[in-house]
Amino acid sequence: MSAIGRLEAYLEEIPKTVNGIDEAAFLRKPSPNKWSKQEILGHLCDSAANNHIRFARSILSNEPITVEGYRQDDWVRLHDYQSNYSPSEMLALWTSLNKQILHVMRRASESDLDKQCLLSDGSSVSLRWLFDDYLDHMLHHLKQIQS
């Protein structure tokens, strides 16, 4: 399945998964230092926000872009997804952010997908690789939400 097809499938699958989980179970933290399913979905929102910028910058740039990391735990803590959002609000945010990514990536040409992105370790990857990696990361966390 194409990367676009994968994202389309996740946009169908994840809402069904989230809506099928009891709210108490969705908010339950396995331990004080582990994210709840709600916080995992919040982390996926942070990932979407950061990756949307990376994808758009790469498509719009004639030069390789530098991909900056972000402090994931700090982002989740800053947004306080556990207390500041309902599961339905989290799902709506996740869906909106990923629809935005879908629209951007549908506009990417083959030459855009071959554009290079420089990682913090000095290596270089294509936008195609970065998009696939984003989807693999999402699938990893989707499995956590489903468990």
In the chain, what are the domain boundaries? Answer: 3-146
Give the model confidence (pLDDT) of 132-142 as tens digits. Answer: 999 999 999 99
Which CATH architecture best describes the domain 3-146? Up-down Bundle (1.20)
Q: Comparing C-alpha atoms, which of 140, 116, 143 is closest to residue 47?
A: 140
User: Could you read off the pLDDT of 21-64 as tens digits, one per residue?
Assistant: 999 999 999 999 999 999 999 999 999 999 999 999 999 999 99
For residue 64, give every residue at least 6 positions away whose Cβ sits within 8 Å of its Cβ, in sequence order, or none: 115, 116, 117, 118, 124
